Each structure stands twice: as C-alpha cells, then as structure tokens.
C-alpha cells in the first residue's frame, strides 16, 4: 500500500536524512519546508521536511506533529541551505537551525509573539459622561482603530477609561500582534542629497542594468576610502525597489550597522519602504519579529551581519556585501560558512546581481576580477575631489617611545587638539596589558583551559582569557618564587587610554573595544558622540577602523603594527595592509587630507609602504608571487582538518592515523601535518590539525569526501571538524 512519506533533516549532528510516515490527519496540511516533531531514538526532535513522496511506509515511524501552518523555508532558501551543507560538510539539520532565529529551531518556543489590545469604535453616537472617556472615544473614532501603545502616547493612564468604554459598548477590544521595533525610539534621520561623480554614475549604471535584466552578475566596487561607495549602494537598491524586488545588504560586524542603517532609513523609509535589520546586537525577540516580517513579504530591504544571508527573501533583486574583505564574514565555529561566498551562490541561484564593495578587496575577489569572473568598478577619487590623507611611518628604532606613543605622534595630537579637531588611536589589543610577568623569575600567568597568557584588565582588576572568558584576580606574589615584582608587560587599549589621559589632562577621551561596547546601544552612543564632536580622542581596536564616517577626525595614529605582520598566517601581510588602509581612510573625510602616523620597527616592509601610499595594486603585485609559489589562495584551495579531544596523546594518534590514510589516497592534493594548532589547547581541548592544499578544487573535494567517510572510524573522545576555505588556522 502506497502512503505519504517525508524525507526529513533532523536537528542533530548527523549527515544522513530520515524517512517518516505522514499520518492521514496531517497529509492535507504537510508541505516541504515545514518543521515537524518526530520520534528520534528515545526522544523526540525537531525535523525539517525536505521532500514528500509516496511508497511503502513499512517499518517507518510516524511524524508526531506539525509545528507550522505554513512552510518556513521556501524552495529557493532550502536550495541554498542544501548547497551550503554539502559544500561546508555540515549536517543539514544543523545548517537549517543556524539559519532560523531563536525560537524556531526547537519544539519549545523560546521567543514569544507579543500581542497588545487594539480598540475600534462601535458606537460613535454615544456620549460617555467623563471628559477623558469622551476625548478617548473621539481620538479612536478619528483613527479608525488604535492599539494600546498608540493610545498611551496621547493619554496618561488610559486603562480605566478604556475599560469603561468597552463595558458601555462604545469600543470593541481585540488583540493584534505587536512588533518589537529596534528603531522605535529613534528619530528618522535626514537624507543627504549627494551628487554623483562620473565614476559613481558609471558604477550605478552598470549595477542598475544588471538589476533591470534580473540576471546574476558579480561586481567589485573597488573604491578608495571616502569615495562614496555607500551612495552607490543606495542608488543600486533604489533601482531594485523600482522593479518591486527586495534588496539584501550585508555588513561584516554589528559595529558597522548603525551608520549604514541610518543612511538607508533616511533614504527609503520616508519613501514608504520597510527596512529590517538582522544581527546579534538585537534581542532574540527583535530578531524573531524582524525575520517574521521578512517572511511575510512586508520588508523590502534587509540589512544585517553574516547570518542575514539566510533571510527569507523570495523576491530578491540585489545583494550588496559591504567591506567584502572582512574575515568576520566567515563563521568561526560550528557551521563554518562564509557569507560573502554564499552571497555569490545565492545570487546565482536566484538570478540577481551581487555587489561586493571594499577599499581593500580580498585577494580572492580581486583575483577573480583580474580573470573576468567579477566585473571591477573603480572609484579612484574621494568624493568632492578631496585629497587622500598623508601617511607617515614612524621608525621606532630611531624614535623609541618612552611609553606607548612616540614623540612625533604626541606632537601631532597636541596640534590636533589645539585646532579643535578629533583624533583616532588604533591599538588592536584590548585590556591594560597582554600579560603580567614576574621580573624576578620570568613567570607569567596562563589560562588553565587555553594555551595562552591571561590579559590584565586594570579597571576590573582581573586576569582574563579572551578565548574562553576564564578570569581570576591578579596574585599578590609570584606562585613560583614568591616574589612581589609582578609587572604588566606590553600595552592594550586600556593602558593607552591611561597614558593619553596623563599626556593631555582635561581632554575628552573615550575607548571603543569589546569591553566598552558589550551593552546594547553602547557602540551607537560612542559613534553619536564622535559625530557630534563630544569626544576629542577615540581609542579603540579594529572596530574603529571600519566604515565609520567621522567628519571631525583629521589625525589617526596606529600602534602595535608589527604584531599584525608577525602573526603565523600566510594572510598576515594582507590583513595588516587592509587594516592600515582602512583606518587611514578615517582621516580627513570631510575636509580632505588629514594625517596618519604608523609606529613600526619595520617601516621598509612592503605592506606598510604600500599602505602609506594607499596603493592596493602595488601591494597585490608584490604579494601575489608568494601565493603562487606556495599554492595558497587565491592561487590554490585549502581545507583545514582540526582534531580535538581531552586526551592529547589520543588526539595526536588519531591525527597521525588520518594523515597516513590521506598520504596514501591523495591525488593532486598536498597533505601537510599533522601538527599542533597554533593554539594547541583551547577551552580545555587539545588540538591537532592537518592542512589539505590543492590547485584543483575538484581533487580537493574528492579527498574531503574520503575524510568525511573516515570520521566514523575515529575513537570515542576525539572529534574532527572540517573547515573548508579557512580564513585562519588558529
């Protein structure tokens, strides 16, 4: 007997799919893309319906319940998720769970739908006795209907009067869904009327033509800092909306979201378009409500961080990826996807253009533009023909600093303050000092869970691990020699803040790093203070370098440059060049020019000399031969296999056993290792890695499939995760 059978991906760490019988009461309601509750072993689990078919259901368990009235996943989105699960070697059930907001991935609702009373006039002719009741009734009659929140904006404590009006039959009370709106308390910003220059006009024309044709095409908007890339995004999105299609705008971090969102709201909300934001800085409820609005087709523009690539947009007409070079587009744990790369895949699948923007494009993207896979659109001049900042490399071998800052930078900061301008100081290390050191015996303090020193945070009086968040108070004496000479070594943003305050007493100084922006709204508050010139010197980590437009900043200082260059990563020079170029671009954006000072012991390094000239092409020309010679991306492809477990000898043995199998089976793939990870112990787990490298992606893919087949043979206690296209090997 033929019965209805559903193929289901279960929310579990398993690659295979499972078949379940659809009982008759559910047969008329069930559809692909719905969530279901199914028996799974000794428990029940949430599953996602991938397909429906008929056949013999002998031996199959029944679906217990449907969790949705309508499919959560469209055919287009499910296609993207299946592709991503296959490419990144991750269980599809977990991939789908990652793509959904909190409250939709389990059978226990963790996020509620909010409702509020809404009132509608039943009898406008009736005249209640109380004056407040009369005013309320007149107001609601004029409005047609009004929710409680709307009424409370006009009337203080209206509850008793509303209750009486309902009892008298003047009003009818019902319930309606209330959206959690992250912009509820924000005024609508003013739009900036900007005139495009010729380069911007050309870029807008090319992207708009692709939008008009509703066909996939990849663009690289390569514009120097301050060249008006955001205005090009706005015009391209405007073209998309004119065709009644939706736009998706990705940003790499929450820190970049507020100013970009303000520009989009100013341009489009006043014109009647609905905008939603999706990022981890929102509450679960705000993200849940935003996702549901998008799913219902009530939103035309979505702006969000990495996970917004999975927004349920059925009429997608354009994808914009701002600062496409940023490594934060790559998920570091669990489902290790790259949102930039998935944007290109989604554009292909849904026939829409993808616009990648950056002043310092990733090598992969620029390499594709050199080989005609991506069309490059150049913005070589700052808007209004403003001059690029002047960059000076301070050689610390000749000008050693007494504290953290060298004298030329101190003098320029003094001059900046006298001119009543603003300054940025970048030090990409938070805390007061990277470690504490006993100067008697050389002992330092390490995290018990990770192979890393504990960072000293003076304000909290804590030693903290920035990987697992372990913390302990600093000790009074050395545990090894009992000495009392325990000193902070090196500098972080907290120490720099103290030094700058001592050098410039009375100056308004603020710090922007993860420690000072952990509370909701803290980052936006600092940005607003900078824009309104309520801060003279802003100190921060790399989050101050990206995307911000601070008109009053004319001086930028960069410290700790050499630590960026000396990271054990083949991309170290690229990341250093990118960060320096980006932060230098914060100077002189309104007046043109500006000054940038980079402190270094290695001023002759090509990454620094090219950053000083803001010359991406020269840096690319010098860096690419190294990549070609070693077969590293973009001239080759990588997969990193990381073995983790509590028992170091066992982890090492399993890694060596896998390596022996791969040495024997590899064809046109280089197998490097195994070796301890640069962070050999992390969050209490010992870690070994094998690196697979190949020029041919197909050969690499074949070997990765072999690895996936061998995973089941690993001993209990040892896990293996596969990182396809890794952006770091830590």
pLDDT, one tens digit per residue, over 365-421 is 999 999 989 999 999 887 765 677 899 999 999 998 888 999 999 999 999 999 999
The predicted pLDDT at position 223 comes to: 86
Q: Can you give the C-alpha Rg of the chain in angstroms? A: 29
90-110 pLDDT, tens digit per residue, is 999 999 998 988 767 665 555
Contact assessment for residue 263 and residue 194, using Cβ atoms and an 8 Å cutoff: no
117-176 pLDDT, tens digit per residue, is 888 887 766 677 777 888 888 888 887 788 887 787 788 878 888 888 887 788 888 877
d(CA 290, CA 35): 19
Provide DSSP, 174-226. Answer: EEEE----TTTTSPPPPPP-----HHHHHHHHHHHHHHHHT---EEEEEE-TT
23-69 pLDDT, tens digit per residue, is 988 888 899 999 999 998 888 888 999 999 988 888 899 999 888 88
Q: Which tokens go with 213? A: 């044709």
The predicted pLDDT at position 107 comes to: 54
Q: Which tokens go with 475? A: 């000790």
Of the chain, the percentage scoring pLDDT greater than 70 comes to: 94
State CA 43 to chain mean position distance: 34
The predicted pLDDT at position 106 comes to: 60
Q: Which tokens go with 320? A: 């914009």
The predicted pLDDT at position 82 comes to: 95
Task: Please compute the mean of the pLDDT values over residues 190-201 and round it to a whole number.
Answer: 82
Residue 522 pLDDT grade (very low, low, confident, very high; cuts 50, 70, 90) = confident
Task: Please compute the mean of the pLDDT values over residues 535-548 and round it to a whole number.
Answer: 86
610-664 pLDDT, tens digit per residue, is 999 989 999 999 999 999 999 999 999 999 999 999 999 999 999 999 999 999 9
The predicted pLDDT at position 423 comes to: 93
Q: How many CA atoms lie within 13 A of 665 on its CB side?
A: 18
**pLDDT above 80 for 684:** yes
DSSP state of 169: T
Residue 188 pLDDT grade (very low, low, confident, very high; cuts 50, 70, 90) = low
Q: Which tokens go with 195? A: 């005139």
573-604 pLDDT, tens digit per residue, is 999 999 999 888 888 766 667 899 999 999 99
Domain ranges in the chain with CATH number 3.30.70.600: 637-724
| Cα three-residue angle 647-650-655, rounded to 5 degrees | 125
Domain ranges in the chain with CATH number 3.40.1440.60: 3-99
**pLDDT above 60 for 71:** yes
**pLDDT above 70 for 184:** no
Look-up of token digits 């803001």? 614
Residue 293 pLDDT grade (very low, low, confident, very high; cuts 50, 70, 90) = confident
Across the strands, what pairs with 357? 221, 322
Q: CATH assignment of 115-177?
A: 1.10.10
DSSP state of 61: P
**What separation in angstroms does the CA of 9 have from each of 4, 80, 300, 508, 639?**
17, 15, 30, 55, 25
Domain ranges in the chain with CATH number 1.10.10: 115-177
Give the fold, CATH level 3, of 3-99: GIY-YIG endonuclease (3.40.1440)
Q: CATH assignment of 198-384?
A: 3.40.50.300
Residue 185 pLDDT grade (very low, low, confident, very high; cuts 50, 70, 90) = very low
Task: Please compute the mean of the pLDDT values over residues 605-613 and round it to a whole number.
Answer: 93
**pLDDT above 90 for 12:** no
Nearest to 392, CA basis, from 550, 561, 513: 561
The predicted pLDDT at position 183 comes to: 58
- Of 2.70.98.20, 3.30.70.1110, 3.40.50.10470, 3.30.70.600, the CATH number of 637-724 is 3.30.70.600
**pLDDT above 90 for 510:** yes
> How high is the mean pLDDT of the chain?
88
Contact assessment for residue 103 and residue 111, using Cβ atoms and an 8 Å cutoff: yes
The predicted pLDDT at position 186 comes to: 56
d(CA 120, CA 90): 51
- Between the two ends of the chain, the Cα-to-Cα distance in Å is 55
Nearest to 61, CA basis, from 86, 38, 90, 84: 38
Task: Please compute the mean of the pLDDT values over residues 474-485 and round it to a whole number.
Answer: 86
**pLDDT above 60 for 279:** yes
**pLDDT above 80 for 193:** no
**pLDDT above 90 for 527:** no
Task: Please compute the mean of the pLDDT values over residues 177-195 and round it to a whole number.
Answer: 65
Of the chain, the percentage scoring pLDDT greater than 90 comes to: 50
**pLDDT above 90 for 703:** yes
Domain ranges in the chain with CATH number 3.40.50.300: 198-384, 386-432+491-626
The predicted pLDDT at position 388 comes to: 79
The predicted pLDDT at position 316 comes to: 95
To the question of domain 386-432+491-626 being in CATH 3.40.50.300, the answer is yes
Task: Please compute the mean of the pLDDT values over residues 264-284 and round it to a whole number.
Answer: 82
The predicted pLDDT at position 476 comes to: 84
């Amino acid at each position: 007997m033929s019965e209805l059978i559903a193929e289901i991906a279960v929310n579990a760490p398993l690659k295979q799919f499972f078949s379940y019988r659809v009982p008759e009461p559910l047969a008329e309601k069930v559809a692909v893309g719905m969530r279901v509750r199914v028996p799974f072993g000794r428990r029940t689990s949430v599953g996602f319906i991938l397909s429906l078919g008929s056949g013999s259901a002998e031996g199959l368990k029944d679906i217990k319940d449907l969790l949705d009235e309508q499919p959560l996943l469209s055919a287009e989105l499910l296609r993207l998720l299946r592709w991503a699960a296959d490419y990144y070697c991750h269980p599809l059930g977990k991939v789908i769970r990652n793509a959904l907001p909190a409250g939709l991935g389990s059978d226990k609702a963790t996020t509620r739908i909010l409702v509020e009373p809404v009132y509608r006039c039943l009898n406008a002719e009736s005249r209640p006795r109380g004056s407040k009741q009369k005013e309320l009734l007149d107001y609601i009659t004029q409005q047609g209907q009004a929710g409680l929140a709307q009424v409370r904006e006009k009337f203080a404590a209206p509850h008793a009067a509303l209750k009486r009006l309902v009892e008298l039959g003047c009003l009818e009370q019902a319930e309606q869904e209330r959206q959690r709106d992250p912009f509820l308390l924000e005024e609508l910003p003013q739009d900036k009327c900007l005139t495009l220059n010729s380069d911007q006009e050309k870029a807008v024309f090319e992207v708009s033509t692709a939008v008009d044709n509703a066909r996939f095409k990849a663009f690289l908007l390569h514009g120097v800092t301050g060249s008006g890339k955001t205005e090009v995004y706005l015009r391209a999105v405007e073209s998309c909306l004119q065709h009644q299609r939706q736009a998706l705008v990705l940003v790499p971090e929450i820190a970049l979201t507020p100013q970009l969102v303000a520009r989009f709201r100013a341009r489009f909300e006043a014109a009647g378009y609905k905008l939603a934001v999706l990022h981890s800085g929102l509450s679960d409820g705000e993200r849940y409500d935003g996702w549901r609005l998008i799913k219902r087709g009530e939103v035309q523009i979505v702006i969000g961080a990495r996970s917004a690539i999975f927004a349920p947009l059925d009429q997608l007409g354009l994808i914009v990826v701002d600062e496409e070079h940023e490594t934060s587009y790559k998920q570091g744990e669990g489902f290790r996807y790259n949102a930039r790369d998935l944007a290109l895949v989604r554009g292909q699948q849904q026939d829409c253009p993808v616009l990648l923007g950056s002043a310092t494009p990733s090598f992969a993207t620029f390499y594709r533009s050199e080989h005609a896979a991506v069309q490059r659109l150049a913005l070589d001049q700052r808007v209004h023909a403003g001059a690029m900042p002047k960059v000076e490399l301070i050689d610390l071998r000749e000008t050693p600093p007494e504290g953290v800052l060298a004298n030329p930078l101190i003098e320029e900061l003094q001059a900046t303050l006298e001119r009543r301008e603003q300054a940025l100081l970048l030090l990409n290390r938070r805390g007061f000092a990277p470690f504490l050191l006993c100067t008697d015996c050389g002992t330092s303090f390490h995290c018990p869970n990770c192979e890393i020193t504990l960072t000293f945070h003076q304000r909290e009086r804590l030693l903290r691990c920035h990987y697992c968040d372990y913390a302990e108070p600093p000790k009074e004496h050395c545990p090894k020699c009992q000495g009392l000479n325990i000193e902070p070594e090196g500098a972080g943003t907290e120490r720099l803040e103290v030094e700058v305050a001592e050098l410039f007493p009375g100056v308004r100084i603020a710090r922007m790093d993860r420690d000072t922006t952990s509370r909701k709204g803290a980052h936006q508050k600092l940005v607003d203070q900078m824009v309104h010139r309520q801060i003279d010197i802003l100190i921060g980590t790399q989050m101050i370098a990206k995307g911000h437009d601070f008109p009053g900043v004319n001086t930028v200082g960069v410290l700790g440059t050499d630590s960026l260059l000396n990271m054990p990563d083949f991309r170290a020079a690229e990341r250093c060049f990118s960060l320096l170029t980006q932060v230098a671009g914060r100077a002189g954006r309104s007046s043109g020019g500006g000054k940038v000072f980079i402190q270094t012991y290695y001023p002759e390094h090509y990454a620094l000399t090219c950053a000083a000239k803001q010359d991406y092409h020269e840096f690319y020309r010098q860096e690419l031969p190294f990549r070609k010679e070693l077969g590293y991306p973009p001239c080759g492809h990588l997969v990193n296999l990381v073995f983790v477990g509590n028992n170091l000898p066992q982890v090492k043995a399993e890694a060596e056993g896998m390596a022996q199998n791969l040495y024997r089976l590899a064809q046109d793939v280089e197998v490097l290792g195994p070796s301890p990870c640069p962070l050999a112990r992390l969050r209490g787990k010992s870690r070994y890695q094998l690196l697979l490298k190949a020029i041919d992606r197909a050969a690499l893919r074949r070997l990765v499939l072999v690895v996936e087949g061998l995973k089941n043979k690993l001993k209990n206690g040892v896990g293996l995760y596969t990182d396809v296209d890794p952006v770091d090997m830590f």
